[in-house]
Amino acid sequence: MRFDTRLVQVGQDPEPGSGDVVPALHLAATYDRTVQDPPRYFYARGENPTRDDLQRSLAALEGARFATVYASGQAAAMTALSLLRPGQRLLCGDDIYGGTYQLLQLLERYGIRVSFADLTDPAVLNRLDGGGDGGADVAMVWVESPSNPLLKVVDLAEIAERTHRIGALLVVDNTLASPALQQPLQWGADVTVYSTTKSIAGHLDVLGGALVYDDPELHEQFLAYRTTTGNMAGALDCFLVHRGLKTLGLRMARQVDNAQRMVEALRDEPSVVRTHYPGLATHPGHALAKRQMAGGGALFSFEYRHDPEKLMSRVRHFTSAVSLGGVRSLIECPALMTHRPIPREERLARGISDNLIRVSPGIEDPADLVADLIAAVRAGDR
Ligand SMILES: *Cc1c(COP(=O)(O)O)cnc(C)c1O
């Protein structure tokens, strides 16, 4: 079964008895053991049929054995990070989601060390498995590709090989690409992390997170952590994520096309200093993106010569809000919004300037979006 067919049909078997053609919404907190044959459901913090349906779909989309879903992307990430023990080190890409940065700060409390590095830099990769102390205590490597907000592209196959050579686990936050454009397990990742809040649910109306992986031992550990801490996704949230998921292929195709058109229009504007989008041939990660992704992605950013706040107030078809991947176009300034938790000097050192603007195209008509954005950008010159 091909991807778009799996989107609509896996985990969506008609309900025995009623014949419901969509997964039923099971709200019960507990289950009667005596009517189950064999007993499968015990208590909804541990297991729930609506959650199972969504998990079956998400695993199938990447051809993986397992998926587990959580209350949010952060809850999913924390569950993956729970594998780390005191004294171990996490090596993390230096261009990551602001919330991930905050989550990693918590780890230091538990005696886990975190270092950041540009994982697109060959020298950094050479140090990782070069036999020096670069990778000695590294137990996990955390990658976001394409990254947020600079859209750097990391070579997933290469980093997987090097990570495994030192006996560490590779975790890839694939929220930006979604499984429609990139499947990290296929390139050797051990765990894919999603904020399903973004493209997977796609309608900006629910929060959720997921981990996707093949290893049964990881599955046991993740389930135990989730059931114990209670960070699982509730049934109604699972239902909404699953409903949104079915149109992922259609939405991503339109959003990638909208991104490409806007970037191409912006690139010739005198008040646009630089654009960041892997779909452009001039982007340093373009060739790599072509190899490991199906399309340039549905997010882009650019450096603007004028005041970002004024630009955000001038656009009419873009909502000035955080989040991404939804049907409605959003615009934001990372320095003021998503990446505000990162201290300014550190943020600037990572290339996230005060004038960077990030755009998450929705599924609106491309002509409306391009005309509106270009008019707002030009007005800054006056
Ligand atoms: C939004 C996001 C997260 C966090 O997800 P929540 O659902 O908001 O908790 C993690 N990683 C990336 C890349 C994101 O965009």
Please spell the DSSP secondary structure of 92-139, one letter per residue.
EESS--HHHHHHHHHHGGGT-EEEEE-TT-HHHHHHHTSSSSSSTTEE
Mutate to test the pocket of ligand 1, among 69, 70, 72, 74 (most ligand atoms within 8 A of CB): 74
Check if the beta carbon of residue 144 is closer than 8 Å to that of residue 100: yes
pLDDT of residue 337: 93
**Residues β-bridged to residue 302:** 275, 357
How many angstroms is it from 289 CA to the middle of ligand 1? 21
Mean pLDDT of 61-73: 98
Q: Which CATH class is domain 3-245?
A: alpha beta
Amino acid letter, residue 11: G
Nearest CA to ligand 1 atom 5: 73
The answer to whether the CB of 93 is under 6 A from ligand 1 is no
**Residue-range domain boundaries for the chain:** 3-245, 249-379
Mean pLDDT of 73-87: 98
Distance CA 370, CA 382 (A): 19
Mutate to test the pocket of ligand 1, among 198, 232, 301 (most ligand atoms within 8 A of CB): 198
Tens digit of each residue's pLDDT (9 = 90 or more) over 117-136:
999 998 888 888 877 666 77
* Residue 243 clears pLDDT 80, i.e. is over it: yes
Residues, the chain, total? Answer: 382
Q: Which helix (H) or strand (E) holds 210?
A: strand 209-213
Check if the beta carbon of residue 143 is closer than 8 Å to that of residue 292: no
Give CATH superfamily name and number for 249-379.
Aspartate Aminotransferase, domain 1 (3.90.1150.10)
Mean pLDDT of 369-379: 97
Mean pLDDT of 250-278: 97
CA nearest to 89, candidates 149, 39, 153, 134: 134
Instruction: Determine how β-strand 169-173 pairs with β-strand 191-195.
Output: parallel
Could you tell me which residues come within 8 angstroms of residue 361 by beta carbon, excluding any fewer than 6 positions away?
255, 258, 259, 262, 298, 299, 300, 329, 369
Q: Of ligand 1's atoms, which has the minimum distance to the CA of residue 96?
A: 13
**Residues β-bridged to residue 115:** 91
Measured CA angle at 157 (ends 247, 302), to 5 deg: 60
How many angstroms is it from 32 CA to the middle of ligand 1? 36
Least confident range from 23-32, 169-178, 267-276, 341-350: namely: 341-350
Task: Read off the pTM.
Answer: 0.96
Least confident range from 12-16, 187-191, 283-287: namely: 12-16
pLDDT of residue 95: 86
pLDDT of residue 11: 85
